[in-house]
């Protein structure tokens, strides 16, 4: 296939605009859920990033003249990477909170003694942590999170145009807010099972004082696991809705931080 006639119609300005859009899209494939999954080959992620950048480039460029000197273009590439990182980190923080919530539960119940390989990240994670990660992933797919995030990238060009430099302090402030909310979100998500585990431990502690000859550890450990799994099964549908709301709020918060950064 002869691509020479097509390449003649691609100007230097369009090429520079595509590079800038690719710089904003790339952090999605480094931080965002599904996009950054190690289950997807790196080459496939690269092709997807280029395809998304090609689709967004006309919208982002919109007749603007991109500086072609090294200093101007290099500064814009760094700015685009920062904007993409701030946007992607806000959603990645939600999945970080989901994983931390699972770690809370694993520690309280006692599943922290064993760990498995998380197929989403490729790292070791504990049982409930992996369950919560899979639930979050299914919710992300069910609500169309992938399309939602790509749409958010497109909307980000209305808030931070291609040639506009945002406030670095506002971008960092948005990232700090997303990071600080991880613990709070994780605690809210894990609260039912953590409270149930604490009540069970307290009850068996009282039993151990009343009936000292009873082997509380042998009885209490399986009982705590059973009660925690029961509460987990009851609360999981509500947890799915909570995760879905947090994901939508994460994308909305990321866009708000970009708006404030201009």
pLDDT tens per residue across span 181-227: 788 888 888 888 888 888 888 888 888 787 777 776 777 777 887 88
Q: Say if residue 21's pLDDT is above 70.
A: yes
At 150-192, the pLDDT tens digits run 888 888 888 888 888 777 777 777 777 777 778 888 888 888 8
C-alpha distances (whole Å) from 154 to each of 8, 123, 148 are: 27, 31, 10
For residue 123, what pLDDT is reported?
57
Q: Where are the domains of the chain?
A: 4-261
Strongest mean pLDDT among 36-40, 53-57, 146-150: 53-57
Where would I find the H helices in the chain?
A: 4-8, 12-25, 28-31, 42-61, 70-109, 127-142, 145-159, 168-210, 216-261
Confidence class of residue 8 from pLDDT cuts 50, 70 and 90? very low
Confidence class of residue 121 from pLDDT cuts 50, 70 and 90? low
Residue 48 CA to residue 153 CA, distance in Å, equals 14
């Amino acid at each position: 296939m002869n691509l020479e006639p097509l390449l003649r119609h691609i100007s230097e300005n369009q090429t520079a605009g595509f590079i800038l859009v690719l710089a904003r899209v790339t952090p999605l494939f480094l931080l965002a859920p599904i996009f950054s999954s190690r289950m997807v080959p790196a080459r496939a992620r690269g092709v997807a990033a280029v395809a998304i950048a090609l689709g967004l480039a006309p919208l982002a460029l919109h007749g603007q003249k991109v500086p072609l000197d090294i200093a101007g273009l290099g500064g814009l590439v760094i700015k685009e990477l920062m904007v993409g990182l701030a946007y992607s980190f806000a959603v990645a923080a939600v999945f970080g909170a989901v994983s931390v919530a699972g770690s809370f539960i694993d520690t309280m119940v006692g599943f922290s003694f064993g760990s498995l390989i998380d197929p989403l990240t490729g790292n070791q994670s504990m049982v409930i942590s992996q369950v919560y990660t899979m639930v979050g992933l299914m919710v992300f797919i069910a609500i169309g999170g992938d399309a939602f995030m790509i749409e958010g990238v497109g909307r980000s060009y209305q808030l931070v145009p291609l040639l506009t430099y945002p406030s670095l302090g506002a971008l960092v402030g948005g990232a700090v807010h997303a990071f600080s909310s991880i613990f709070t979100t994780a605690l809210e998500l894990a609260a039912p099972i953590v409270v149930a585990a604490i009540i069970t431990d307290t009850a068996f502690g009282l039993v151990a004082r009343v009936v000292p000859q009873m082997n509380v550890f042998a009885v209490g450990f399986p009982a705590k696991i059973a009660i925690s799994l029961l509460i987990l099964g009851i609360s999981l549908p509500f947890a799915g809705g909570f995760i879905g709301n947090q994901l939508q709020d994460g994308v909305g918060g990321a866009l708000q931080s970009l708006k404030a950064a201009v």
